[in-house]
Amino acid sequence: MLEIKNVWKTFNKGTVNEKQALCGVNLTLNDGDFCTVIGGNGAGKSTTLNAIAGVWPVDCGQILIDGKDISALPEHKRAPYLGRVFQDPMTGTVADMEIIENLAIAARRGKKRGLSWGVKADERFRYRQMLAEFDLGLEDRMSSKVGLLSGGQRQALTLLMATLVTPKILLLDEPTNYLDEEHIAWLKRYLLDYENAFILISHDIPFLNSVINLVYHMENQELNRYVGDYDHFQEVYAVKKAQLEAAYRKQQQEISELKDFVARNKARVSTRN
């Protein structure tokens, strides 16, 4: 479904602020792959999501969805394939527009829009039912401006907008921010029933473990794949790290012994002369 092949990205290339963000990144997701991307701050997690979404062009490499190369497509032309929840709910909505207008825009994602796109009665009824599921009173405030909502209300609206039309790939960046336990449970149920694939970035480890089956670890601007939940990744990674450290210590010991051998032989030759 989603393939990222050898993607590279450097910001501020050729300047003193040049930063290598992605180095030959590869990632593959199929239907039913519920994935998290983990790594330290600044490792490139959000950069990877932005590359998929088309926020900026990659330097080289390919991004394919269902075999179609979307690498050269601008962000708005990738909209039919993707749903996205941002870390900041302010980013995923239009503050100066009404709740119902935001939902109508999300419902028409990737579709051609005419000069008139009024919300019909059946559409309004559908939105009302969906909003009522959050139990935040939003169904009675559909004409309110989104900018007047609280952070939790706005994040709930962003989740609904991202999933209103089932996307091929769902991109979630800290989606549990601003959500209470009840709405985190709603999100968990939705993701477990999701029919396609998603990429999730979250520091909420219990939530991660409850919904994912695949981990991509971002380290040194590269992605490594681990099958299983976050706890399983930690176990496997700890073994891998210990093996690498042991190999490094052995290598350093061998180098030290070789240097000592060379030094002793040099001294022996010098004594003979």
Read off the tokens for 177: 């921010």
CA distance 50 to 183: 26
Residue 8 and residue 22 in contact, taking contact as beta carbons nearer than 8 Å:
yes
Residues forming beta bridges with residue 19, ordered by sequence position:
11
Residue type, 85: V
The mean pLDDT of 165-174, rounded to a whole number, is: 91
For the ranges 11-25, 52-66, 235-249, which has the lowest average pLDDT?
235-249
Residue 84 and residue 53 in contact, taking contact as beta carbons nearer than 8 Å:
yes
Residue 60 and residue 11 in contact, taking contact as beta carbons nearer than 8 Å:
no
CA distance 46 to 194: 22
Helix axes 151-163, 181-192, angle to 10 degrees: 10
pLDDT digit string (tens) for 4-23?
Answer: 999 999 999 889 999 988 99
Residues forming beta bridges with residue 85, ordered by sequence position:
172
Percentage of the chain modeled with pLDDT above 70: 95
Provide the whole-model pTM: 0.83
CA distance 144 to 150: 12
CA distance 24 to 226: 18
For the ranges 29-38, 115-124, 135-144, 190-199, which has the lowest average pLDDT?
115-124
Give the list of residues 6+ apart from residue 40 with CB closer than 8 angstroms, or none.
none
- Residue 115's pLDDT band (boundaries 50, 70, 90)? very low
